[in-house]
């Protein structure tokens, strides 16, 4: 199914991208009701994230487009939520910067690889765990606008460590996939 674009799994990834809009608007309201709506929508986005991968594997719908859409949807959703929370002072600006820099480099590297080698690397397990840790950290910041102390330090510390580790992991995969590198056989 490599050439197919119209699949249920790709539609679920697109839905996750679209959910970023009402999630962002709900958070920008900065009210208890707005945060509650955002949390419900984020949980719905999380379900689509699980389902798109499950459906793709079970129905044989793993496509090149899906390999791109799934991580892009994650990055848009996480980036939008982190941006609003940083603007509201719920997460540190440096944390937002770390997320955006990592995700920007992953997207740029993926684009470069696809143009130079026609290779589309799938997200790896460390990247998926990092997205989960980020989601937990951001959800905690939405639940408790005054998230302070040890809980915030632990969640942001774990997420930051995972951002660093996954950045190294993706960089190693990127460089090993480049033409002419010893790890790549052409």
- Residue 119 sits in a domain whose CATH number is 1.20.120
Within a domain: 114: yes
Q: What is the pLDDT of residues 122-162, one digit of tens each?
A: 778 898 899 889 998 999 888 875 556 678 889 999 999 99
More reliable by pLDDT, 86 or 52 = 86
Domain carrying residue 53: 8-177
Within a domain: 69: yes
For position 167, what pLDDT does the model report? 93
For position 60, what pLDDT does the model report? 80
Say which residues have a Cβ less than 8 Å from residue 31's Cβ, sequence separation at least 6: none
Stated pTM of the model? 0.84
Within a domain: 1: no
Within a domain: 110: yes
Within a domain: 185: no
CA 11 to chain CA centroid, Å, is 17
Torsions phi, psi for 61 (to 5 deg): -100, 25
- Judge whether residue 17 has pLDDT over 80: yes
Within a domain: 70: yes
Number of domains in the chain: 1
Within a domain: 186: no
């Amino acid at each position: 199914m490599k050439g197919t674009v119209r699949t249920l799994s790709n539609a679920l990834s697109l839905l996750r991208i679209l959910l970023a809009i009402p999630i962002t608007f709900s958070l920008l309201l900065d009210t208890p009701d707005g945060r509650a709506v955002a949390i419900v929508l984020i949980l719905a986005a999380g379900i689509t994230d699980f389902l798109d991968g499950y459906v793709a594997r079970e129905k044989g719908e793993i496509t090149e487009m899906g390999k791109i859409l799934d991580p892009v949807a994650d990055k848009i959703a996480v980036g939008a939520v982190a941006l609003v929370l940083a603007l509201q002072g719920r997460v540190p600006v440096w944390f937002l910067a770390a997320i955006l820099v990592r995700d920007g480099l992953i997207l740029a590297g993926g684009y470069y690889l696809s143009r130079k080698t026609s290779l589309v690397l799938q997200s790896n397990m460390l990247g998926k765990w990092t997205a989960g840790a980020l989601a937990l950290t951001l959800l905690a910041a939405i639940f408790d606008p005054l998230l302070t102390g040890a809980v915030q330090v632990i969640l942001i510390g774990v997420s930051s460590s995972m951002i660093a580790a996954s950045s190294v992991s993706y960089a190693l995969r990127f460089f090993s996939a480049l033409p002419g590198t010893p790890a790549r056989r052409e």
